[in-house]
Structure 1
Amino acid sequence: MTKIDYIQSDGTRITVDAAPGDTVMSAAIAADVDGIVGECGGNMMCATCHVYVDEAPAARLPAMTDDEDQMLACTEAPRTALSRLGCQLPTDEPMVVTVPGIPT
């Protein structure tokens, strides 16, 4: 199991044990982490699994594809240099991600 920490917009930290083969999105959904919806089931079609990745592991993650880059243009929360789709992030090693709050 790999520990994934999800930081909510209010600062609450939720630690999830992710199984081999999980993604940041699938582990969050299995643990009922608020703010990660995954409407498309991880098919990179909805951007409802948008997260901000902690800078430390960001360099060790798979490169962003053009499709992911285009989908991140559709997020409700502001996109940053640390934005990724949780469905594209394997949970091979511990990481910290922030679940963006939706602007009101």
Structure 2
Amino acid sequence: MRDGLQDFTVVDVRAEGARRKTHLPGAISLPLSGITPERAARLPSGLLLVHCWGPACNGSTKGAMRLAALGREVKEMIGGLEYWIREGRPTEGRRPVDPRTATAADPGLVC
């Protein structure tokens, strides 16, 4: 992304309620529990960049594995939303998150 690569789709596998609070700009919500062959087929073609909250959550690993098993090209965003926020990168949603205090213990942000 930093180098201008835009030929991928960001997929947030956290629960929809967590995504509504804050998410990466342009991310598609596909909660881990909702990954089915039908829903995976409706995602845009090409590379999927899957993320969850962060290293304390294994949702992105599980989501990437499920999508790869369905034949999708997948990369896992190591560090997830937590480290995106900590690096001061932009988010969207109803609730701003302070990168200095963002934590997996924050209810409603995690998978």
Classify the TM-score, shorter chain. Answer: under 0.3
Higher RCO structure (Cα 8 Å, ≥6 apart): 1
Higher strand share: 1
Which is greater in Rg?
2
How does the TM-score come out when normalised to structure 2?
A: 0.25
Higher helix share: 2
How does the TM-score come out when normalised to structure 1?
A: 0.26
